Structure 1
Amino acid sequence: MCGDEAQSLSRRTLLGVATAALATVALPSVADAATARRRIPLDRISIQLYSLRSLLQNDPEGTLSALADIGYRKVELAGTYGRSATEFRAILDRCHLQASSTHVGIDGDLNQIIADAKILGNSLANVPYAKFDTIAEWEAFAGRVNTAAAAFRKAGIPLGYHNHAHEFAPIGGVLPYDVLTAKTDKRLVHLEIDLFWAVTGGADPVELFRRNFPRVTQYHVKDMTADGQMTDPGTGVINFPRIFAASCHNIGEYIVEHDQPTDPLNTAKVGFEYLRTVRF
């Protein structure tokens, strides 16, 4: 999320994007294409509803029904758009959609946040965003994530963390992402890797997956143009087949997202069709 980051890439960040792209963008060879057989099961394809926030505020039922018509059976929440958890769950049920995952804050009333997650039927939850100026603050935040994750785990809902690009920018020579992964309990806190923001930050998603195995269980799938802008899945230069082939044995959800789509439902359709048809 936080689409303003995509609009303000610095020269240094763009250089990092170019470097990461060398590892993630190369097109598959003819031999690779000939031997690619794996696919993403339909029940692992989801969409982050933040991508459709402009539509959901005024017409949640029509928007969710349209997603179901596209073929989605799962969604990831980012709020309930003025509806209570009970009201939004009823809409999801009428549209035959499961809110299998959600983005939540952890600084409010955890008991109420967890209660709403249970009403909504969430199986996973993720902290969507954090940003601090010092490593000490990142360490303190990791402690709060551990505390929240323990409470979520008691409710049967594992808690994870969703990255942006800034976690891969060093502070005093230390990466905040390394602090998060080292200081959070790997038995409690999983990782939801946003592939666009990871590449934007200069990270290789395959290396992130391998270094943090088996904690990476979800991907946000959004693509990148050659000049570093966000675009719909499958329409840019990120080599998703390479990433998926290296990690498919541990990824439970591939979640379509675009932070600032010009046509949200078209993004949803393009993303679903790409994930449904991609082979690796």
Structure 2
Amino acid sequence: MCGEEAEKFHSRRSMLRGAATAAVAVGAAVALPGVASAVIGQNAPETESAGHGRGRIPVDKISIQLYSLRTALEADLGGTLSALADIGYRKVELAGTYGRTAKEFRGLLDKNHIRASSTHVGIDGDLDQTIADAKVLGNTRANVPFAAFDTIAGWKEFAGRMDTAARAFRKAGIPLGYHNHAHEFAPIDGVLPYDVLRANTSKRLVHLEIDLFWAVDGGVDPIDVYRKNFPRTTQYHVKDRTADGQMVDPGQGVIDFPRIFRATTPNLAEYIVEHDNPTDALSTAQNGFSYLRYLRF
């Protein structure tokens, strides 16, 4: 990172630290954009969905997918992890280790008192090494981030490979799951790939990480997906969507998170902030943390 870029990064980090402190001191009413509206209900109908409920998300269940911060992590890995710790994150979900070994990355996480509770992994390479790295990182879950096939037969074959890999992960004490996009909810010959995946994997071995943006984008209600697959859903990816389908930070779109969370709280281990292409990754991290931290549902 050059001198000018470093100065901008550390200026942003200092700003976010101050914002986090202010949010804690005075509560959601003065939190960053999207937080007050989520609590007061300005972006929701004047019903229970406005966020006046009694439910809340414990801090230890708030995480962030580091893919959202990939550019910042590539530029300054240690500084970005430190900035996340300043915001208040104590858990992250990995999508690579940015040229470090699992042991080296674990050391940076430990230095910042952050746990890598989950990792997005592939199952087609050296599975033994993938599992070994997950153990070193301290993962309590792992998830396959993406799969796409043109035929139902392709999805069935993939489900079989998922099941086999999940058995190996389970022996290491790490449950394996699947993270959806939108295409799993588009029928092929009248059949949903998501239904094929869940029907051809073990309920005991393979859990489901529901990406709420992509589920809504795929035309399904996340509550229905959760209930249909209970108790397999243990993690949410929390990112918001505008009415015309643009991805935005949590609380800045039209997805009714209070309604979803209120109906699906049991069995949820993590609420993972994510934005695939944020304009300012650290601001997204702050916005997402503050939104989840102060949300009432």
Q: TM-score, normalised by structure 2?
A: 0.84
Q: Among 187, 203, 206, which residue is 1:170 paired with?
A: 187
**Is structure 2 residue 57 aligned with structure 1 residue 67?**
no
Q: Among 208, 230, 248, which residue is 1:191 paired with?
A: 208
**Aligned ranges for residues 1-280 of structure 1 at < 5 Å?**
27-30=44-47, 33=50, 36-280=53-297
Structure 1: 5+ residue runs without aligned partners?
1-25
Matched position secondary structure for 1:57? helix
Cα distance in 2 for residues equivalent to 1:111 and 1:270: 37
Q: CA deviation at 1:58?
A: 2.3
- Give the counterpart letter for 1:187 in structure 2: R
Cα distance in 2 for residues equivalent to 1:32 and 1:84: 44
Would you identify which runs of 4 or more consecutive aligned residues in structure 1 move more than 3 Å? 30-35
Cα distance in 2 for residues equivalent to 1:204 and 1:33: 18
Q: CA deviation at 1:29?
A: 2.8
Matched position secondary structure for 2:142? strand
- Give the counterpart letter for 2:216 in structure 1: V
1:97-132 deviations in Å (ceiling 9; x for gaps): 000001000000110000000000000000000000
Cα distance in 1 for residues equivalent to 2:269 and 2:55: 15
Whether contact under 8 Å (2:163, 2:201) holds in the other structure is yes
The count of corresponding residues between Structure 1 and Structure 2 is 255
Structure 2: 5+ residue runs without aligned partners?
1-42
1:18-76 deviations in Å (ceiling 9; x for gaps): xxxxxxxx934345658611100000000000000001112111000000000000000
Q: CA RMSD in A?
A: 1.2
- Give the counterpart letter for 2:182 in structure 1: A
1:182-203 deviations in Å (ceiling 9; x for gaps): 0010100000000000000001
Cα distance in 2 for residues equivalent to 1:77 and 1:85: 11
Cα distance in 2 for residues equivalent to 1:106 and 1:278: 36
1:211-239 deviations in Å (ceiling 9; x for gaps): 00000000000000111110000100000
Matched position secondary structure for 1:46? strand
**Structure showing greater Rg:** 2
Q: 1:279 to 1:92 in 2, by over 3 A?
A: same
Cα distance in 2 for residues equivalent to 1:253 and 1:31: 23
Cα distance in 2 for residues equivalent to 1:92 and 1:34: 33
Whether contact under 8 Å (2:120, 2:144) holds in the other structure is yes
Cα distance in 2 for residues equivalent to 1:29 and 1:249: 25
Q: CA deviation at 1:133?
A: 0.5
Whether contact under 8 Å (2:51, 2:295) holds in the other structure is no
Q: 1:162 to 1:32 in 2, by over 3 A?
A: closer
- Give the counterpart letter for 1:144 in structure 2: R
Cα distance in 2 for residues equivalent to 1:140 and 1:162: 17
Cα distance in 1 for residues equivalent to 2:293 and 2:151: 41
Cα distance in 1 for residues equivalent to 2:64 and 2:77: 15
The percent identity for this pair of structures is 73
Whether contact under 8 Å (2:62, 2:271) holds in the other structure is yes
Q: 1:143 to 1:71 in 2, by over 3 A?
A: same
Q: CA deviation at 1:243?
A: 0.4
